[in-house]
Structure 1
Amino acid sequence: MLRPLGRRSWTCGQCLLQRRAFESAASQAPLSHANYPPADNSAPKKSADDDTLRQIFDSQSFWKNFSQPQSSTIPKQAGLVQNQYLTSPDGFRTFAHASLQKCQAIVAKVLRASTVDEYRALARDLDRLSDLLCRVIDLSDFIRTIHHDPHIQEAATQAYALMFEYMNVLNTTTGLHDQLVQAFANPEVTSHWTVAERIVAEILMKDFKNSAIHLPPGERQRFVNLSNEISQVGSDFFNGAEPARPQVTFNANSLQGLDPMLISQIKKWNNKAPVPTMGIVPRLVLRSVRDEQVRKQVYLASRTSSSRQIHRLEMLLKKRAELAQLSGFKNFADMTLSDKMAKSPESVSNFLTSLISSNRGPVQEELLQLQQLKQCNLQPWDHAFYVHKRVLEYSQSRRSRELSIVPEFFSLGTVMQGLSRLFDRLYGVRLVPQETAPGETWHPDVRRLDVVDEAGRHIAVVYCDLFSRPTKHPNPAHFTLRCAREISAEEIAECASMDQNAHPNDGMATAVDPQTNTLRQLPTIALVCDFQEPMNNGSGRPTLLSEQSVRTLFHEMGHAVHSILGQTPLQSISGTRCATDFAELPSVLMESFATAPEVLALYARHWKTGEPLSESMMQSMEQDRTAHGSIYGAVENESQILMALVDQAYHSVPYEQAVNGIDTTEVYHQVFSHHSSLPEPDDIRPRTSWQGFFGHLYGYGATYYSYIFDRAIANKIWQDVFLSGKASVDRAAGERYKNEVLRWGGGRNGWQCVAGVLGESNPSNANGRLVEGGDEAMREVGRWGLGREGIAE
């Protein structure tokens, strides 16, 4: 029910002039505000900030000087991300217990509500309860995985466990559900709710239903037991991928085409070479070995799961179907999709089959080219080999010195500069480097950027942890450590009555909304990547990014800008807290901006000479992407569509059938035989069981379609909104997208967002086709297609 969904804070100096209303509400108790001067948006200052932004990422010496305290006095120790509690490991426990006390007070208030006014406050009270849980859980979960100090890791883990356990208690507190039912039943209450309050209340009701809190005690306990069992078997499935055969042995001479160094590493004394069937080696064999029979055997072995792993999957699906039946749904997909844009498994299937059709032509073109290269029937174990052959041929004929030096125009600092300039031109916000206080960041490499708007108002904090280091997780990610929301005058008064030095947002970023004169907690975000640090050998050479790394950074910043601009009144619908199948739209769309010529013109400069990326180099990059996309992009897209179809088929089996067992191998082959453009031949098909390696079936059960769904929408918005005018970096288009999509967070139906940004005159939105969603809207999105660049799994 109140599970945390999010992924932070301080006060602008301008806000100090507007404090009187809040101090009055708090009986004149002073608030703890950080000394943040208003941003200077004059041209010289703005230009200086822009230059500083590049240098703090590109120059180690500049960063060292910038990050040193400018005052000779010893600065006061700050808590992590300015949280006033987190100045020591013990602070995590204090933070958790203080938050827990506030949670308990809210729960008591909700449970004793009896008047109309008290029921009217219910949606905001429960949203604040969720916020208090998320404050601890999200921040602690992040710090325990990112911080190098084991004492802090342990303390953060304890804080996380305490609040997570309490959250599970709330999920079995039937009185919360009963009170929300009472509120919904009273028109005097619901008519008084704002749109945001009603949406949050509806989300909570759905969460209650999905957690079976409305069931009788015996059935509710069965639900809890099933949930725990699903968690265990799902974890076992995700971590237990294993082939039926650990290796396939060949004569080393039959592996011609494979790197001789690799052959020598796996070869045994009798010239036998056992090829493992998991990991990178079988992929290299399929890509490089000339002997088709070797490739066929490796293909077969590497796509056949162990019976133990298949049993885990089928047990997971059976228990999920039982959980859905217990909650009143036909199947697990119905249960999972009820609050998504898709709504039903039938709609998802409509989207995916429509997408298969729109992608079919490009797939046939790619396969025909590969078949002509082979000069006979192409088989599934041939695809990687001939794709690699074509890529090599293309690279040898096309690869130019221009492309080889492209990363020299993408220093990390210039790319960050480009993001700030792009946001400024599209949305009127920019990134301003800010000195951190001692103890504010979890590592000295972390840079803090404040986001300010055109009026100089501070609207968000972004902590950038972008450089690799030992033990740091390499996957790029965006984390919202604290969501945006309004802080009520009652909260401020409550905070002041407890401790005059306390801050209603724990010392983290706040600002006063000048339109409503309401104190707001600002989104605090962490961006994590794994780029190499700038060289410190006197060369001055900064971190240089590949084109793919640039796209990755733009992708994660797409999530961040959703958090930054999606500042809703309630945190449950703030920023990225939206439907799962809508959450990737801003990040996928940002990838299109990364290498668009007009955006490259904003920032791509040679790290040493300052020379801009030439038009011919931009054209070479575009030709390179197009060529690679035409070689394998459509087939890669089809493989993702097929995986989404398998996911949907598994989770759409009704309980009455699932209880007797689901033959996942048969279902997998039915989907691939019916939809694949390169099906397995009859002598292979019964022997493969690749689904055992599809670990995302656990984490993305019934929602694996989401990424390609958002990509189809992002491509449409890119073409029809940003490329339809004179320029892709167009303020009118940016404002339209911001106002119709980003600013709502999860506070507006995703279909309304898509329909709004495309506009009534768009042919795809004729007769309001998109506004209500449904089967036809899902088919329409499928017709938009995915482009030809392919998707990395």
Structure 2
Amino acid sequence: MLSRSAKILAGNSTKPLFRFRGCLFSKQDARSLSTAVRHHIPATVDDRALISLFDNPKSIFGASPLAPTGLFGHPSLTHPSSLISLSTATLVRAQLLTERILRARDSREELLKVVKNLDRLSDILCGVIDLAELVRNAHPERVWVDAANRAYESLCEFMNVLNTDVGLYEVLKAVLSDPSIVKTLSPEAHQTALIFWRDFEKSAIDLPPAERNKFVSLSSDILVLGRKFLDGVNAPRLPTSIKPSELAGLQDKGMGVRLQLQAKFTQRDLLVYPGSMQAHMIMRTAPEEEPRRRIYLAANSSTPEQIEVLETLLRKRAELARLVGRDSFGHMTLDDKMAKTPDNVYNFLDALMKHTRPFAKRALHTLSQRKQAHHGLSSLPIIQAWDRDFYCPPEAPAPPIPLPPLTLGTVFMGLSRLFQNLYGISLRPADSASGEVWHADVHKLEVVDQEKGVIGWIYADLFARRGKTSGAAHYTVRCSRRTDDDDTHGDLTFDGAEARVRESEEFEAVKRHRLPNQDGVFQLPLVVLLCEFSRPSVTKGPTILEWHEVLTLFHEMGHAMHSMIGRTEYQNVAGTRCATDFVELPSILMEHFLNSPIVLSLFDVDETSTTRQIGNHHSDPCNSIDTYSQILLAAIDQVYHSPAVLDPAFDSTSELARLHDTRGLMPHVPGTSFQTQFGHLFGYGATYYSYLFDRAIASRVWRNVFADDPLNRETGEKYKHEVLQYGGGKDPWAMVSMLLNAPELKEGDTEAMREVGRWRIEDEVGQPGRH
């Protein structure tokens, strides 16, 4: 799902060279869980401090009036204008470093430093871009948001210039063409160089000027069309008219009664908007089929203009790919992913579809039996798309064992204890200086390694408020990078630039730290978690998390620990800066830990050794129907990014209907065109399969590696040192192969993709996927 933007949540359609990374289902047999809850150490001072930090509105942890500073501890970032000034200084310094790299062929010594300097150039820009991305999504003050937008746009514009800089490409080509220089590169440095090389090639860098200009023009068109497409995705659908008589028998005794009374007193049809609470209630509880059918049609309709925007976007992407010599946008996009080719994605999806279909058909048969009984029919009826939620209402996710109310503080304590068991790493509350955070709700955590001390920071902005971006996301504001071998003394300068260079260097200096028991000076990772939980208060008490919110927090903390542990020497491969179809593995795996009663016992402040018999845990009986539906979406994503879109007769609605009618569970509904609401077609173009892919791998890793003893330190260290620490600096297939002791996966070939497709996707504790 992802370009290298500041957050783990969505991505751009084309991936920039100097990349920056901003953070979704057969009735199964009930599982009888019985376990002995192990004794663990009593709550530590840090455990209780975490509870106090998040659960007590008057917690002592917060902004200190002493030692005022700027955002994230940068003394200069005290005012919106300072962010603009920093972006200007960053541009000056980036231009000077670019000039140094362009002159590298004058000296073998400089050629040896090209990869490091390219990564450093990327980091100089990303360090401000990623910070600005966070500010514009989280800061409550408009003046800060406006400044962040200006900084973000100016630096991204310069980054786009670098993407098509032929001189930089030629210098990198000289490095990679010299075996004696390549031999000096560490595996991580070589991987970083290859990332730059592939991105240059995807930017039409070796084409004649006219064609390169065409590439730039197409890229701009794609961004504009993408925004229009997403505007359409988010646009409200027209309401549908529901007759009062069609509301008879609504099973919802609250809203259903209110709707019926409203219809009775107004003596006219009700207008129900798709996506509203009323629409959801009708789809789940209306015994009559007709109102559900009309709401479904209204929710899945499109204007001709919306369809044209999507199809134009798909054609432009295909033209872009053809321009750089690729068969399709899918071929161009997948080249550096685990899948490598569209054929391999189809192999994965076909195997997964073949495995999932019997379970989904069995669930569908159950729904058909329910519909038959509901209508008193003599034969089994066809289940239509509008029947799904009525005959199998989606169930809220629930824990596998009965649990007391979980406060935000106790969940963070449980997370800290889990990380301590697995990695020897814990979370510790830290005071933030005045001006360091952007809102009083934001809490700062130190991530502490028992051997190395503080290895990074997490800023938790977890409570809903007006103006804050919705949903949950993990923002990488600062990546890992080794800095003591930067050779900044060799950077170019000119008269009048010294002050600007110094401003940028002082911004960078705050990030650098020397860790105990480790060589070198490192830029330590800093991430921000955004959620929208309810705020604790003196009158209402601490925030009590719903189970789906606990799942969300574990998911996002999986990304955060990847950022913390994936502390590489090159920022372009640090932490979550890895292949799109690998990045969700650590976060999905974290959800699986919530299947374990032993892990859940970590939520207890003073757990003692007991044996607890657990009752049955039921997953959503229609889980496999939803998984199969997600497979179909991944398949249509591949069709839409194949050479077929260049055929003048291509019709996105017809392709979707054909897929549903030939391989789907329920027939396509004439008059509908869901594809205009499938927003991931923009951010996940040709890579929507990734979440299913990582779900399959995470399920296998959980079962084969962690399930039997989820708190085993030796297992945690293996995962830490064979997967997490490499970030994107090692082939993901090699990491998965080593972790699962499965050498047949190491090459990541066609058969490896099929094999993953044959693996069972276990439900992440009953919760549909998150991104």
Q: TM-score range by the shorter chain?
A: 0.7 to 0.9
Q: Which residue of 2 aligns with 1:127?
A: 119
2:482 is aligned, of 454, 474, 486, to: 486
Residues 276, 234 of structure 1: CA spacing in aligned structure 2 closer, same or farther, 3 A cutoff? Answer: same
AA matched with 2:182: T
The answer to whether the aligner puts 1:660 opposite 2:651 as a matched pair is: no
SS at match of 1:214: coil
Residues 234-278 of structure 1, C-alpha deviation per residue, up to 9 Å, x if partnerless?
211121149998343342111224413235557894432333345
Stretch of structure 1 that moved more, 427-436 or 513-522:
513-522
Any conservation in 2 of the 1:257–1:290 contact (CA below 8 Å)?
yes
The answer to whether the aligner puts 1:781 opposite 2:765 as a matched pair is: no
SS at match of 1:285: helix
Q: Which residue of 2 aligns with 1:437?
A: 433
In 2: Cα distance, 1:244 partner to 1:139 partner:
32
Map of 1:206-221 to 2, 5 A cutoff? 206-221=198-213
Residues 444, 293 of structure 1: CA spacing in aligned structure 2 closer, same or farther, 3 A cutoff? Answer: closer
In 2: Cα distance, 1:715 partner to 1:44 partner:
29
Q: Which residue of 1 aligns with 2:20?
A: 5
Map of 1:152-301 to 2, 5 A cutoff? 152-241=144-233, 246-258=238-250, 259-264=256-261, 269-277=266-274, 279-301=276-298
Structure 2: gaps spanning 5 or more residues: 1-15, 23-39, 251-255, 373-379
Map of 1:688-727 to 2, 5 A cutoff? 688-724=672-708, 727=709
In 1: Cα distance, 2:153 partner to 2:399 partner:
53
Q: Which residue of 2 aligns with 1:385?
A: 390
In 1: Cα distance, 2:640 partner to 2:429 partner:
48
Any conservation in 1 of the 2:61–2:429 contact (CA below 8 Å)?
no
In 2: Cα distance, 1:467 partner to 1:358 partner:
40
Any conservation in 2 of the 1:634–1:790 contact (CA below 8 Å)?
no
In 2: Cα distance, 1:76 partner to 1:399 partner:
44
In 1: Cα distance, 2:43 partner to 2:505 partner:
31
Residues 530, 247 of structure 1: CA spacing in aligned structure 2 closer, same or farther, 3 A cutoff? Answer: closer
Stretch of structure 1 that moved more, 292-301 or 498-507:
498-507
AA matched with 2:536: P
Residue 455 of structure 1, CA deviation: 1.9
Residues 460, 399 of structure 1: CA spacing in aligned structure 2 closer, same or farther, 3 A cutoff? Answer: closer
In 2: Cα distance, 1:124 partner to 1:633 partner:
47
Residues 182, 509 of structure 1: CA spacing in aligned structure 2 closer, same or farther, 3 A cutoff? Answer: closer
Q: Which residue of 1 aligns with 2:530?
A: 528
In 2: Cα distance, 1:247 partner to 1:542 partner:
39
Q: Which residue of 1 aligns with 2:12?
A: none
Residues 533, 320 of structure 1: CA spacing in aligned structure 2 closer, same or farther, 3 A cutoff? Answer: same
Residue 493 of structure 1, CA deviation: 5.4
Stretch of structure 1 that moved more, 736-745 or 588-597:
588-597
In 2: Cα distance, 1:150 partner to 1:341 partner:
41
Residues 444-497 of structure 1, C-alpha deviation per residue, up to 9 Å, x if partnerless?
121111111112521101111112222222311111100000003455657999
Structure 1: gaps spanning 5 or more residues: 8-42, 760-764
Residues 347, 137 of structure 1: CA spacing in aligned structure 2 closer, same or farther, 3 A cutoff? Answer: same
Any conservation in 1 of the 2:136–2:148 contact (CA below 8 Å)?
yes
Q: Which residue of 2 aligns with 1:748?
A: 730
SS at match of 2:710: coil
Tell me the TM-score normalised to structure 2 length: 0.87
Residues 701-756 of structure 1, C-alpha deviation per residue, up to 9 Å, x if partnerless?
101111111011000000000024xx211111111111111000000111011101
Q: Which residue of 1 aligns with 2:633?
A: 643
Residues 591-615 of structure 1, C-alpha deviation per residue, up to 9 Å, x if partnerless?
111342111111245xxxx678997
Residues 118, 503 of structure 1: CA spacing in aligned structure 2 closer, same or farther, 3 A cutoff? Answer: closer
Residues 605-635 of structure 1, C-alpha deviation per residue, up to 9 Å, x if partnerless?
5xxxx6789976x835xx34xx232x11111
Residue 691 of structure 1, CA deviation: 1.6
Residue 84 of structure 1, CA deviation: 3.0
Q: Which residue of 2 aligns with 1:670?
A: 658
AA matched with 1:721: V
Residue 98 of structure 1, CA deviation: 2.2
Q: Which residue of 2 aligns with 1:24?
A: none
Residue 93 of structure 1, CA deviation: 2.0
The answer to whether the aligner puts 1:419 opposite 2:409 as a matched pair is: no
Any conservation in 1 of the 2:408–2:543 contact (CA below 8 Å)?
yes
Residue 359 of structure 1, CA deviation: 1.0
Any conservation in 2 of the 1:83–1:507 contact (CA below 8 Å)?
no
1:462 is aligned, of 415, 434, 458, to: 458
Residues 169, 533 of structure 1: CA spacing in aligned structure 2 closer, same or farther, 3 A cutoff? Answer: same
2:45 is aligned, of 37, 48, 60, to: 48
AA matched with 1:66: F
Any conservation in 2 of the 1:238–1:696 contact (CA below 8 Å)?
no
Between 1 and 2, higher relative CO (CA 8 Å, sep ≥ 6) is seen in 2
Residues 335-373 of structure 1, C-alpha deviation per residue, up to 9 Å, x if partnerless?
110010000111111111111111122212212222222
The answer to whether the aligner puts 1:344 opposite 2:341 as a matched pair is: yes
SS at match of 1:535: coil
Tell me the TM-score normalised to structure 1 length: 0.85
Residue 78 of structure 1, CA deviation: 1.0
Residues 641-690 of structure 1, C-alpha deviation per residue, up to 9 Å, x if partnerless?
11000101110125xx615252111211221122212334xxx4x43322
More helix by share: 1
Q: What is the Cα-based RMSD across aligned positions, in Å?
A: 2.9
SS at match of 1:628: coil
Any conservation in 1 of the 2:483–2:512 contact (CA below 8 Å)?
no
Residues 383, 612 of structure 1: CA spacing in aligned structure 2 closer, same or farther, 3 A cutoff? Answer: farther
AA matched with 1:132: I
Residues 176, 322 of structure 1: CA spacing in aligned structure 2 closer, same or farther, 3 A cutoff? Answer: same
In 2: Cα distance, 1:264 partner to 1:407 partner:
38
Q: Which residue of 2 aligns with 1:75?
A: 66
AA matched with 1:91: S
In 2: Cα distance, 1:787 partner to 1:628 partner:
10
Q: Which residue of 2 aligns with 1:559?
A: 559
SS at match of 2:544: coil
Any conservation in 2 of the 1:407–1:547 contact (CA below 8 Å)?
no
Any conservation in 2 of the 1:266–1:274 contact (CA below 8 Å)?
no
Residue 506 of structure 1, CA deviation: 2.9
In 1: Cα distance, 2:236 partner to 2:216 partner:
33
In 2: Cα distance, 1:101 partner to 1:255 partner:
66
Map of 1:83-98 to 2, 5 A cutoff? 83-98=74-89
Any conservation in 2 of the 1:755–1:771 contact (CA below 8 Å)?
yes
